[in-house]
């Protein structure tokens, strides 16, 4: 039987897992790329040739009796499809054009199907924008390059210039901004008219203006209803775009249970979504399947989730996860760690995020700060700490208290002299704060105020810890009652206080245009 020979278009780092899997399958590999290609010594044969030299690559493929063609990255997908078509081998459809790179052409094709929604969009033609905010995108860039949310004319002009430079043909796509919701990517395998969803990835971004991807988690937490909608939308989308051979990475946004199309790539998901996360979170041999598609021999297989996996990038936007990165070195759940120093770099695109280093986990649950030593931190009365004043000062500045420095100074001195400052301190920083007054020895009635947990530390049970400490202090002083006020629409806080025996008194008050309800707890 003649040995299978696979032509890999592009020989950069993204080709590594394809080459490794091909060798495992005893398939001969021929790589095409520039002289300095990283994978030139990894393939069986390397031919120095531009990935855009279609005729030259086709000629070489015929000389070497190639019987399978695969793209290694976003930029090689169109070339690979054309080469496969020229050689009459399995590949993505190009008879009406190639629609898996140009974001505008994608949208034009996808608008013909009803199972997925789209924002309003158009190619920038020099005319003023009617309504801000809008998304400005380089029409065929990848890795979040040349993408920015703009809110006014000045930002718009700067974004247009940058995106036009990054776009291969100078075209810039303008899109309506889809506010809210969550972003996901769908990791697929397409073979002829069949499409199989291998995994759904939940994407965490830096938010506006660049929406850099700073973390990914698998499997995404989705309802059965949404999962079924995604399956239909994905199959319809790949079919209308002519993606019918190999891996596909489709990005969507879900807002109020409605699915919105962002873009799709006829290749593996980057950021190690395909080669590490999907391979470890499922029982599916993803790269073998991609190669099988190139030889038209893909076999159907039941796909199951077998683990939770994810990647956190060591970038500025994830600095609040410092404890997670610190603990990763000794954690059983960490399977890859490329972080070399404590410096969290700014990231305006996915490449910069990756260059900052990252950690990858594999576990029987999603890894978060709950899995770190932060859960061992205790709530303490910090009045006697030598740096108590500085801790409270920095905390108030961080959360944006609108007080003059003189007012803040007097307030902190009052806290320290007459109150009980209950805090959880992590890395010389207050992450949970509660102010307790229990000075009235006549009524033995204490009062709680200024309860605050930093956003990135919420959901870890820290508010319970500071509240329990406050109750403990009151009991130690033999107080009989604790009162507090809470915003009437803060249901989460109200539920917490009710769990600890606080009851609404029916007395409400206005404070800074906010309606607050009084609650009381009687200590036995």
**Do both 351 and 418 map to the same domain?**
no
In a domain, 101, yes or no: no
Q: What dihedral angle (degrees, nearest 10) is formed by the CA atoms of 278, 284, 290, 293?
A: -150
466 contact partners, CB below 8 Å, separation of at least 6: 379, 422, 423, 424, 432, 433, 434, 451
pLDDT of residue 145: 79
SS (H, E, C) 6-51: EEEECCCHHHHHHHHHHHHCCCEEEEEECCCCCCCCCCCEEEECCC
Residue 248 inside a domain? The answer is yes
Domain that includes residue 199, residue range: 182-373
Whether residue 140 lies inside any domain: the answer is yes
Same domain? For 387 and 504 the reply is yes
Segment-wise mean pLDDT, segments of 10 residues, the chain, 524 residues: 90 96 98 96 97 97 97 95 97 87 93 96 92 93 82 93 91 94 97 90 90 94 96 96 96 97 94 96 97 94 96 92 93 96 78 78 96 92 96 94 92 94 94 94 94 91 97 96 95 96 94 90 90
- CA nearest neighbour of 291 among 246, 250, 249, 244: 246
CATH code (residue 517):
3.40.630.30
Q: Are residues 326 and 450 in the same domain?
A: no
**pLDDT value of residue 350:** 60
**What's the rounded Cα separation, in Å, for the pair 310 and 281?**
9
Domain count for the chain: 4
* 301 plus 365 within the same structural domain: yes
Q: Within this chain, do residues 345 and 277 fall inside the same structural domain, yes or no?
A: yes
Task: Check whether residue 209 and residue 273 sit in a common domain.
Answer: yes
Nearest to 291 by CA among 11, 18, 12: 18
Angle at 350 between CA 7 and CA 222, to 5 degrees: 90
Q: Are residues 187 and 165 in the same domain?
A: no
Strands 445-453 and 481-487: parallel
Q: Which residue has the tokens 């997908």?
A: 77
| C-alpha torsion sign, points 391, 392, 394, 398 | positive
Instruction: Examine residue 250 and state whether it is found in any structural domain, yes or no.
Output: yes
Is residue 103 domain-resident?
no
Angle at 94 between CA 99 and CA 259, to 5 degrees: 30
Contact 124, 160 (CB under 8 A): yes
d(CA 455, CA 398): 11
One domain for residues 344 and 491: no
Query: CA–CA separation, 205 vs 306, rounded Å?
Result: 25
CATH number for the domain harbouring residue 81: 3.40.50.20
Query: Is the domain of 275 the same as that of 346?
Result: yes
* Residue 445 to residue 95: CA distance in whole angstroms: 80
How far apart are alpha carbons 464 and 448 in whole angstroms? Answer: 13
Say if 150 falls within a structural domain: yes
- Residue 98: per-residue pLDDT: 86
**Same domain, yes or no, for 188 and 336?**
yes
At 352 the pLDDT is 60
> What pLDDT is attached to residue 256?
96
On whether both 231 and 317 belong to a single domain, the answer is yes
Tokens 């400005």 -> residue? 136
The secondary structure element, H or E, covering residue 120 is: none
Rounded to a whole number of angstroms, the distance between the first and last alpha carbons of the chain is: 85
Q: Has residue 102 been placed in a domain?
A: no
The CATH code of the domain that includes 124 is: 3.30.1490.20
- 159 within some domain: yes
In a shared domain, residues 274 and 149? no
| Paired strand residues for 521 | 482
């Amino acid at each position: 039987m003649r040995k299978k020979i696979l032509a890999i278009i592009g020989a950069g780092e993204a080709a590594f897992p394809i080459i490794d899997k091909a060798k495992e399958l005893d398939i001969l590999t021929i790589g095409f790329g520039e002289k300095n290609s990283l994978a030139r010594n990894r393939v069986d044969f390397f031919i120095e040739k531009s990935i855009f030299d279609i005729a030259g690559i086709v000629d070489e493929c015929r000389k070497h009796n190639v019987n399978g063609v695969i793209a290694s990255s976003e930029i090689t997908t169109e070339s690979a499809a054309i080469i496969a078509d020229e050689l009459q081998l399995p590949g993505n459809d190009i008879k009406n054009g190639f629609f898996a790179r140009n974001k505008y052409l994608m949208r034009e094709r996808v608008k013909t199907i009803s199972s997925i929604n789209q924002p309003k969009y158009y190619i920038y033609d020099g005319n003023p924008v009617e309504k801000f905010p809008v998304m400005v995108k380089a029409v065929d860039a990848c890795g979040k390059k040349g993408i920015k949310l703009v809110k006014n004319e000045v930002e718009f002009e700067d974004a247009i210039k940058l995106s036009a430079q990054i776009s291969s043909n100078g075209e810039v796509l303008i899109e309506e901004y889809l506010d809210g919701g969550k972003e996901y990517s769908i990791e697929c395998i397409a073979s002829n008219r069949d499409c199989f969803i291998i995994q759904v990835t939940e994407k965490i971004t830096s938010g506006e203006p660049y929406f850099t991807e700073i973390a990914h988690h698998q499997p995404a937490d989705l309802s059965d209803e949404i999962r079924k909608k995604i399956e239909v939308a994905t199959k319809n989308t790949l079919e209308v775009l002519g993606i019918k051979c190999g891996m596909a990475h489709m990005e969507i946004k879900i807002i109020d249970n409605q699915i919105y199309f962002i873009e799709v790539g006829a290749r593996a998901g980057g950021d190690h979504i395909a080669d590490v996360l999907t391979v470890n979170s499922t029982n599916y041999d993803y790269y073998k399947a991609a190669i099988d598609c190139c030889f038209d021999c893909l076999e159907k297989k039941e796909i199951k989730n077998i683990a939770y996996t994810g990647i956190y990038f060591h970038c500025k936007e994830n600095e609040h996860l410092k404890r997670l990165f610190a603990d990763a070195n000794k954690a059983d759940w960490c399977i890859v760690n490329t972080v070399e120093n404590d410096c969290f770099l700014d990231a305006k695109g996915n490449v910069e995020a990756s260059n900052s280093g990252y950690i990858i986990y594999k576990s029987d649950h999603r890894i978060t700060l709950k899995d770190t030593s932060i859960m061992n931190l205790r709530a303490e009365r910090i009045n006697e700490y030598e740096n108590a004043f500085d801790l409270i000062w920095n905390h108030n500045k961080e959360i944006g208290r609108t007080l003059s420095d003189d007012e803040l100074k007097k307030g902190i001195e009052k806290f320290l002299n007459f109150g009980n400052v209950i805090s959880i301190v992590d890395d010389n920083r207050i992450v949970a704060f509660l102010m307790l007054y229990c000075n009235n020895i006549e009524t033995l009635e204490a009062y709680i105020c200024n309860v605050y947990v930093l956003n990135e530390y919420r959901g870890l049970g820290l508010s319970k810890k500071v509240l329990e400490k406050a109750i403990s202090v009151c009991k130690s002083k033999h107080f009989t009652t604790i009162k507090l006020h809470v915003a009437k629409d803060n249901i989460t806080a109200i539920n917490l206080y009710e769990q600890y025996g606080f009851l609404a008194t029916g007395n409400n008050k206005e404070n800074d245009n906010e309606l607050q309800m009084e609650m009381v707890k009687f200590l036995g």
